[in-house]
C-alpha cells in the first residue's frame, strides 16, 4: 500500500536538506521537479507493507548518462543515513572499483558540506571515504575493491553504481545474499546505464526487471513485490536517429541534459560508426552487442548485393591483403577491386579463407560457427588444408592462380610468421613494388579502417554476402588512441576478424595507389 505521509517526508528531506553540487545548480535546493525523480523517491519510501516497513528492498534504475543519477543516488544514501529511523545503520557504496564507487560518495559528502543542518550532525572522513552520523550511530562508507572476498555485512543499504561494469557476479552476491537479513527494511539500490555483455550480472538483473514488471501488469502470482524497477530505454525497433525518441528516454532533458549536447553526440556517431554503439548505449540506454563493436551490421548486410561473379572482375585493378593463421587458425586472403570513380562507384571485395582440416572440429566447438558447412565444396566459402597446421603451400597455390586471373597490383601483408611464404611470393612475382609489409598499429590502419567504415555506411561496397566474412565483420571491435584514431582490435574481439583485417590491408594499398603516390617496397 502507499503511505502519502512517508512519501512526502522523503521528498521533503531531499528538497529541504539537500542541494545540487555541480555547475550552475551548485548549492541550490534539490527540488524534485522532474517527474521521474519525484516518482522514484515517492515510490521507494512511500510504498509500505502492512507493518509499515518499506515494501521495496531491491530497486533497479537504468537510465542514460547525464540524467543526474549520481545526485539521486547520493540523496538516497543520505536519506538512509540520516532519516530512516534506523539505529546503527550501515550504508555502503559499491561499484566496479573504489574510484567509481567514490563518485556517488563525493556528491553526498558535498551535499552534507552545503547544509548547515546536515553538517552539524555528521563527520566526513575523506581519507576513509566515510560519513558518520553520531545521532543514530550510523555510517555511510565506500567499499574497498577486495570486498567481494568478504562476507558478514549487516547492511541497511547499498548504493550500487554502474552495475553494467561488474566483471562477474561475486560482488553482487556478497552484498545481496543475506546481507540485510537482520534489518527490518534494507534497501539495495542499483543505478546504471545499459551495458553490452549479455552474460553479465547486470543483464541478468535487467532481464529480471523486465520480466517482473510484465508479471505485475498481468497480476501474475510469480510477481515479486519487493523488487522495483525504472528503465528508460529506447526499444530496438524504434528509430534511434529521431530526436523525439531521444526525449522519451532522457527524462532530465532540458535541465541536466541539453538537446544540443545530444545533437552533437549524434552527429559524431553518424559520422563515425565507431561511436554509434556508444551513443545508442550511453545516450539511449540500448543494450548493444559489444562495447566497441564497430561495423554497423544493418549497413553491412545492405552491401551484400549479388554473389560475386569472378568473371566480372577480370581486367579490373586489384589490391590484396593477406592475414596468415597462427598454427591451426584461419588464414585470410582478400582481394579489393576499387572502381574507377572512387566516390561514386562500387568497391568489390572477394575473400578467400583456409582452415586446417584436423583442427576444424575443435574450432567448431570453440567458435560456435559451422566451418564444416562453410567449407563444403559446393558452397566454397572457405577451404581446408590437410593436417593439424596451416599449410601455406595451399595459400600460395591459390594466390598464384589469382595473380594469373586478376590484375593484382600490390599485396599487403603482416610480417608475423610470414617470412617463408613471402619469400616464395617474391620468387613468383619478381616485382619490388608488389609486396608491402603493413604493421598492425594505428599509423598503418587507422586511415584505411576509417575509410572502410565510411564506404560501408554509404553503401559503396559489395561483398556478395559471404557468411564467413559477415561473421568476422560482426566480431570486429575497435581500439582507439588518445588522438581519436581507430583500428581493428584482435585482442578484444569476441572471435576471429582475420578477413576484415586482410580487407583493410588491401584497401590501404588501393587508397595509396588511387592517390597516385609512389609506393616502392615500403613498410607501413
105-160 per-position pLDDT tens digit: 999 999 999 999 999 999 999 999 999 999 999 999 998 766 666 666 888 999 99
As a whole number of angstroms, the distance between CA 228 and CA 203 comes to 16
Q: Where are the beta strands (DSSP E) in 441-495?
A: 461-462, 478-480, 486-488
Rounded Cα gap, residues 41 and 21, in angstroms:
19
Would you state the pLDDT for residue 389? 84
Distances (CA, A) of 68 to 30, 36, 168, 257: 11, 11, 26, 9
CA–CA distance, 501 with 334 (Å, rounded to integer): 9
What is the per-residue pLDDT for 523?
A: 39
**Cβ atoms of 321 and 524 closer than 8 Å:** no
Q: Residue 443, CB half-sphere, CA atoms under 13 Å: how many?
A: 5
- CA distance linking residue 18 with residue 118, whole number of Å: 9
* 227-231 β-sheet, strand order: 122-125, 130-133, 138-142, 90-94, 157-161, 187-192, 58-62, 227-231
Q: Which residues contact 241 (CB under 8 A, 6 or more apart)?
A: 266, 270
The topology (CATH level 3) of 299-514 is Nucleotidyltransferase; domain 5 (3.30.420)
CATH homologous superfamily of 4-231: P-loop containing nucleotide triphosphate hydrolases (3.40.50.300)
Domain ranges of the chain: 4-231, 243-291, 299-514
Q: Can you give the pLDDT at residue 520?
A: 35
Distance spanning both ends of the chain, measured CA to CA: 69
47: which DSSP letter? B
- pTM here is 0.64
Please state the separation of Cα 440 from the chain's center in Å.
Answer: 23
Instruction: Return d(Cα 68, Cα 70) in angstroms, integer.
Output: 6
Cβ atoms of 445 and 355 closer than 8 Å: no
* Residues 6+ away with beta carbon under 8 Å from 217: none
Share of the chain above pLDDT 90, in %: 66
Q: For residues 446 and 452, give the distance between their C-alpha atoms in angstroms, rounded to a whole number.
A: 10
What average pLDDT does the chain have? 89
Taking only the tens place, the pLDDT of each residue in 282-318 is 999 999 765 556 888 889 999 999 999 999 999 999 9
* Residue 1: alpha-carbon gap to chain centroid: 39
φ/ψ (deg, to 5) at 104 = -70, -40
Positions in the chain whose pLDDT score sits under 70 = 145-152, 273-274, 289-293, 326-328, 417, 482-484, 515-524
Which residues, 6 or more positions from 360, have their beta carbon under 8 angstroms from its beta carbon? 371, 372, 375, 384
Strand 187-192 relative to strand 58-62: parallel, antiparallel, unpaired?
parallel
- Kindly report the length of the chain: 524
Q: What is the C-alpha to C-alpha distance for residues 487 and 339, in angstroms, rounded to an integer?
A: 24
Amino acid at each position: 500500500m502507499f503511505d502519502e505521509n512517508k512519501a512526502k517526508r522523503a521528498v521533503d528531506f531531499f528538497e529541504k536538506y539537500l542541494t545540487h553540487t555541480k555547475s550552475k545548480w551548485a548549492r541550490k535546493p534539490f527540488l524534485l521537479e522532474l517527474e521521474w525523480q519525484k516518482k522514484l523517491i515517492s515510490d521507494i519510501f512511500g510504498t509500505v507493507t502492512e507493518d509499515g516497513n518499506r515494501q521495496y528492498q531491491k530497486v533497479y534504475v537504468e537510465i542514460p548518462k547525464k540524467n543526474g543519477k549520481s545526485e539521486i543516488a547520493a540523496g538516497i544514501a543520505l536519506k538512509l543515513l540520516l532519516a530512516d529511523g534506523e539505529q546503527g545503520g550501515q550504508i555502503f557504496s559499491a561499484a566496479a572499483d573504489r574510484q567509481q564507487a567514490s563518485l556517488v560518495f563525493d556528491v553526498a559528502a558535498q551535499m552534507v558540506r552545503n547544509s548547515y543542518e546536515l553538517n552539524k550532525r555528521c563527520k566526513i572522513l575523506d581519507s576513509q571515504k566515510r560519513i558518520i552520523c553520531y545521532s543514530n550511530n550510523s555510517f555511510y562508507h565506500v567499499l574497498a575493491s577486495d570486498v567481494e572476498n568478504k562476507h558478514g555485512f549487516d547492511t541497511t543499504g547499498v548504493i550500487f553504481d554502474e552495475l553494467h561494469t561488474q566483471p562477474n557476479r561475486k560482488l553482487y552476491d556478497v552484498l545481496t545474499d543475506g546481507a540485510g537479513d537482520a534489518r527490518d527494511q534494507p534497501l539495495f539500490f542499483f543505478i546504471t546505464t545499459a551495458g553490452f555483455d549479455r552474460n553479465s550480472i547486470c543483464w541478468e538483473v535487467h532481464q529480471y526487471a523486465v520480466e517482473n514488471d510484465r508479471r505485475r501488469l498481468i497480476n501474475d502470482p510469480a510477481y515479486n513485490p519487493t523488487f522495483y524497477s525504472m528503465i528508460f530505454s529506447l526499444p530496438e525497433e524504434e528509430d534511434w536517429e529521431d530526436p523525439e525518441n531521444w526525449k522519451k528516454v532522457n527524462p532530465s532533458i532540458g535541465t541536466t541534459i541539453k538537446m544540443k549536447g545530444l545533437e552533437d553526440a549524434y552527429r559524431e556517431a553518424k559520422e563515425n560508426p565507431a561511436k554509434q554503439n556508444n551513443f545508442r548505449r550511453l545516450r539511449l540506454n540500448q543494450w548493444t552487442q559489444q562495447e566497441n563493436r564497430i561495423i554497423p551490421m544493418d549497413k553491412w548486410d545492405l552491401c551484400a548485393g549479388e554473389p560475386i561473379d569472378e568473371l566480372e572482375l577480370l581486367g579490373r585493378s586489384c589490391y590484396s591483403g593477406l592475414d596468415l593463421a597462427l598454427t591451426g587458425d584461419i588464414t585470410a586472403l582478400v582481394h579489393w577491386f576499387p572502381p574507377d570513380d572512387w566516390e561514386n562507384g562500387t568497391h568489390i571485395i572477394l575473400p578467400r579463407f583456409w582452415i586446417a582440416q584436423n583442427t576444424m572440429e575443435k574450432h567448431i566447438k570453440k567458435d560456435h560457427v559451422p566451418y564444416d558447412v562453410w567449407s563444403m565444396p559446393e558452397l566454397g566459402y572457405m577451404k581446408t588444408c590437410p593436417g593439424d597446421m596451416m599449410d601455406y603451400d595451399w595459400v600460395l597455390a591459390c594466390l598464384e592462380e589469382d595473380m594469373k586471373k586478376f590484375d593484382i597490383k600490390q599485396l599487403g601483408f603482416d610480417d608475423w610468421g610470414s617470412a617463408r611464404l613471402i619469400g616464395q611470393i617474391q620468387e613468383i612475382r619478381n616485382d619490388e613494388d608488389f609486396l608491402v609489409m603493413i604493421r598492425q598499429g594505428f599509423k598503418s590502419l587507422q586511415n584505411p579502417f576509417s575509410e572502410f567504415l565510411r564506404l560501408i555506411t554509404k553503401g559503396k561496397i559489395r561483398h556478395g554476402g559471404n557468411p564467413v566474412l559477415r561473421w568476422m565483420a560482426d566480431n570486429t571491435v575497435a581500439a582507439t588512441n588518445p588522438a581519436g584514431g581507430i583500428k581493428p582490435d584482435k585482442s578484444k574481439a569476441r572471435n576471429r576478424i582475420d578477413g576484415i583485417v586482410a580487407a583493410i590491408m588491401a584497401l590501404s594499398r588501393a587508397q595509396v595507389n588511387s592517390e597516385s603516390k609512389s609506393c616502392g617496397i615500403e613498410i607501413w
